[in-house]
C-alpha cells in the first residue's frame, strides 16, 4: 500500500485527485497540505483524510508517507519536488512540471540522486483511445505520419476564481500554452517521438491579460513529421487531434469523448469506441503505484514530461524573437 500526501488542494484535487488516491488499487491517502486552515479542514473532512497539515515540512517529517502528489501552482512545483526527493518521498507532479526546463532538469537530477521516482501527471496518456491510436500508428495503418493537428481551447475567464493564478506569468509561467496546451503537446510527444524544431506566435486577441490568450505552435519531430498546435482561452471549446499519414488518417473529434476514427487510403472509415475511466486520474495513479512496486514503467517519468516543457519554452522564445528554435 502506497501512502500519499497531497501538497496543494485546489479544484483539481477536489474534483479528481483526492478521490483517485483513495480509490486506486494499492493506494491510501494519508495527508493533505494547504495553508488556508479553514479550507484545509473542510477538504480533509469531506474526504476523510486523517492528517491535515498547514506546513509542507510536516509531510517531510511524517514517516508514514511514501509519496506526494504535487498540486500546487507551477511556480513551486520544483521546490516541492526537491523537498520530497530529499526526504525520500516519491513524486507525482501536476503538469507542466516546472516554470522552465532548468527547474525540470533539477527535479529529474535530484529525484535520481535520492533514489525516488518522479512522474508527471499527464493522465491523458492513459486514455484507452490514446493507447489505441499509438498502437495503430506503430502498426503502420496510416503509413508514415506526415502532419498532425491538435487543439485545446475554450472560452475561459479565470479572473476572480481560485484559478486566477493561471493569469499571473510569474506563478503560472504563461497562459493557455502552459495550461491546456501542455496536454496536447505532451500527447504529440508521446505519439510522435522526439521534438526537434519549434516556431510559434502568441498574442491577446480577445482578453487583455498579463499572459497570452491564444498561442499557435509549429513543431517538427525527429521523424520529420510536422505538427501544429492551437491553445486558447478565447475560442469555443475544442480538444481535437488529427494525424495524417501517407496511407490514411487518425482522428479524434474530441480527445475527451470515446470515439477514435481511422480512415484508410481508400477512404474506408473504421470507428473505435474506447471510453476513458470515470475519474481519469485513477489509471495514472495505479500505474505509478505499479511502477513504484517494480511491476511496470510509468508512461510519463520526468525525462518524458520535460519534453513538453522544452517545446513550450522554445515556443515563447520563438514568439518573442520571431525565429525558429532548434531543440537539438
Residue 93: what pLDDT? 98
Sheet holding 27-33, edge to edge: 51-53, 27-33, 2-7, 67-70, 90-93, 118-120
Q: Quick check: do 2-123 and 124-276+302-326 share a fold?
A: no
Q: What is the mean pLDDT of the chain?
A: 96
Question: CA 315 to CA 325: how far, in whole Å?
Answer: 8
Identify the pLDDT of residue 10: 86
C-alpha–C-alpha distance, residues 276 and 297, integer Å: 21
> Quick one: which H or E segment has residue 23?
helix 18-23
Alpha helices in 72-127 (DSSP H): 77-86, 101-113
Half-sphere exposure of 328 (CA within 13 A, CB side): 9
pTM of the predicted model as reported, rounded to 2 decimal places: 0.96
Measured CA to CA, the distance from residue 138 to residue 98 in angstroms comes to 30
Average pLDDT over residues 119-148: 98
- Three-class DSSP category at 290: helix
User: What was the pLDDT predicted at 236?
Assistant: 86
The per-residue pLDDT for range 11-52, each reduced to its tens digit, is: 899 999 999 999 999 999 999 999 999 999 999 999 999 999
Residue 200 has pLDDT above 80, yes or no: yes
- Domain boundaries in the chain? 2-123, 124-276+302-326
The pLDDT assigned to 161 comes to 80
Q: What is the CATH number of domain 2-123?
A: 3.40.50.720
Beta bridge partners of 6: 32, 69
Residue 160 has pLDDT above 80, yes or no: no
270 φ/ψ angles, rounded to the nearest 5 degrees:
-120, 140
User: Each residue of 240-296: pLDDT tens digit?
Assistant: 999 999 999 999 999 999 999 999 999 999 999 999 999 999 999 999 999 999 989
Q: What integer pLDDT is reported at residue 155 of this predicted model?
A: 83
β-strand partners of 218: 199, 228
Q: What is the pLDDT of residue 242?
A: 98
Nearest Cα neighbor of 122 from 197, 41, 188, 59 is 188
d(CA 25, CA 316): 40
Q: Which residue do the cell numbers 518573442 mark? A: 320
Q: Considering only the top CATH level, what class is 124-276+302-326?
A: alpha beta
Percentage of the residues of the chain whose pLDDT score is greater than 70? 100
Banded model confidence at residue 237, pLDDT cuts 50, 70, 90: confident
Lowest mean pLDDT among 28-32, 132-136, 237-241: 237-241
Q: What is the pLDDT of residue 140?
A: 97
Predicted local confidence at residue 39, as pLDDT = 92
Rounded Cα distance, 274 and 205, in Å:
36
Band of residue 164 on the pLDDT scale cut at 50, 70, 90: confident
**178 touches 98 (CB < 8 A):** no
Amino acid at each position: 500500500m502506497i501512502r500519499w500526501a497531497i501538497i496543494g488542494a485546489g479544484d483539481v484535487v477536489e474534483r479528481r485527485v483526492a478521490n483517485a488516491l483513495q480509490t486506486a488499487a494499492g493506494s491510501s491517502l494519508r495527508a493533505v497540505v494547504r495553508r488556508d486552515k479553514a479550507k484545509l479542514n473542510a477538504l480533509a473532512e469531506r474526504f476523510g483524510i486523517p492528517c491535515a497539515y498547514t506546513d509542507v515540512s510536516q509531510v517531510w517529517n511524517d514517516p508514514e508517507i511514501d509519496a506526494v502528489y504535487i498540486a500546487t501552482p507551477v511556480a513551486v512545483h520544483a521546490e516541492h519536488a526537491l523537498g520530497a526527493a530529499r526526504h525520500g518521498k516519491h513524486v507525482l507532479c501536476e503538469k507542466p512540471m516546472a516554470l522552465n526546463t532548468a527547474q525540470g532538469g533539477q527535479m529529474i537530477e535530484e529525484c535520481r540522486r535520492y533514489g525516488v521516482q518522479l512522474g508527471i501527471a499527464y493522465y491523458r496518456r492513459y486514455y484507452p483511445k490514446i493507447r489505441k491510436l499509438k498502437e495503430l500508428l506503430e502498426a503502420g495503418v496510416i503509413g508514415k505520419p506526415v502532419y498532425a493537428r491538435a487543439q485545446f481551447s475554450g472560452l475561459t475567464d479565470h479572473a476572480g476564481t481560485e484559478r486566477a493564478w493561471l493569469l499571473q506569468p510569474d506563478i503560472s509561467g504563461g497562459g493557455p500554452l502552459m495550461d491546456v496546451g501542455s496536454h496536447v503537446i505532451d500527447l504529440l510527444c508521446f505519439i510522435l517521438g522526439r521534438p526537434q524544431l519549434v516556431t510559434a506566435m502568441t498574442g491577446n486577441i480577445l482578453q487583455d491579460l498579463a499572459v497570452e490568450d491564444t498561442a499557435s505552435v509549429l513543431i517538427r519531430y525527429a521523424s520529420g513529421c510536422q505538427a501544429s498546435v492551437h491553445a486558447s482561452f478565447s475560442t469555443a471549446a475544442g480538444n481535437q487531434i488529427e494525424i495524417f499519414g501517407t496511407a490514411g488518417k487518425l482522428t479524434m473529434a474530441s480527445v475527451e469523448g470515446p470515439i477514435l476514427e481511422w480512415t484508410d487510403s481508400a477512404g474506408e472509415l473504421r470507428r473505435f469506441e474506447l471510453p476513458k475511466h470515470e475519474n481519469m486520474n485513477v489509471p495514472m495513479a495505479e500505474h505509478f503505484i505499479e511502477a513504484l512496486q517494480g511491476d511496470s514503467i510509468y508512461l510519463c517519468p520526468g525525462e518524458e514530461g520535460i519534453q513538453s516543457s522544452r517545446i513550450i519554452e522554445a515556443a515563447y522564445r520563438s514568439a518573442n524573437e520571431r525565429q525558429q528554435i532548434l531543440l537539438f
